[in-house]
Amino acid sequence: DTGVSQDPRHKITKRGQNVTFRCDPISEHNRLYWYRQTLGQGPEFLTYFQNEAQLEKSRLLSDRFSAERPKGSFSTLEIQRTEQGDSAMYLCASSLSGASGTEAFFGQGTRLTVV
Amino acid sequence: AQKVTQAQTEISVVEKEDVTLDCVYETRDTTYYLFWYKQPPSGELVFLIRRNSFDEQNEISGRYSWNFQKSTSSFNFTITASQVVDSAVYFCALRCIEEYGNKLVFGAGTILRVKS
């Protein structure tokens, strides 16, 4: 499978626990994005990497959230001290750099439920 | 501010009917890109089309067609002769270059249900 893959697909955690999600982009893509999607809404931008550099972070990304892309390949998104409001689908996408109109390809997402 | 509005929350049609999904966007940028994505129940967003702000030519791809009108800031999507497999959530999205870098701003989506 050469698409964007995310792991795990589902995660149930207790409030206050830390969780980490992984995203493996399409191999030749140097841009990687994280989005969050709540029920009945469109995805909302969280953060974006070009290679290993984190170039933009949304104000939605509180200090409990951290993302890394250490070698410019896979990325991790960690949420510390989870809250019920963090329950959502977390989507990863990747794209080529160059023309800004280049489309992003999305993974199937990680559905987080905080109980 | 960048904004995408999809006023239709849910549409139900019978198979073989034509259906149009509306998208209205707001931006002050002169260079921007518009996208449509499909999200089937599996959850993965599937890219359908990209259009840049300088190209108002309408596009047809099989049963899909898109109507881009800058005068009304709209980028509507029509499915001709709908099929049950078209049932999904459809998102319109905007990417602006000058202000917001590379991120996509999505509308809330339109749920399309095609009944046999």
For chain A, give the mean pLDDT.
92
* Amino acid A37: pLDDT: 96
Q: Which residues of B touch A31 (CB under 8 A)?
A: 102
Task: In whole angstroms, give the CA distance from residue B3 to residue A100.
Answer: 18
Task: In whole angstroms, give the CA distance from residue A54 to residue A115.
Answer: 30
Evaluated on CA atoms B103, B3, B45, A58, the torsion sign reads: positive
Q: What is the pLDDT of residues B38-97, one digit of tens each?
A: 999 888 899 999 898 988 888 888 999 999 999 999 999 999 999 999 999 999 999 887
Q: Which residues of A touch B108 (CB under 8 A)?
A: 40-42
* Amino acid B12: pLDDT: 98
Q: Which residues contact B87 (CB under 8 A, 6 or more apart)?
A: B40, B112, B113, B114
Mean pLDDT, residues A17-32: 95
Residue A21 has pLDDT above 80, yes or no: yes
Confidence tier at B99 by pLDDT (50, 70, 90): low
Mark out chain A residues that contact chain B at CB-CB < 8 A.
3, 31, 33, 35, 40-45, 48, 55-56, 58, 89, 91, 93, 95, 100-101, 103-109, 111
Residue B103 has pLDDT above 60, yes or no: yes
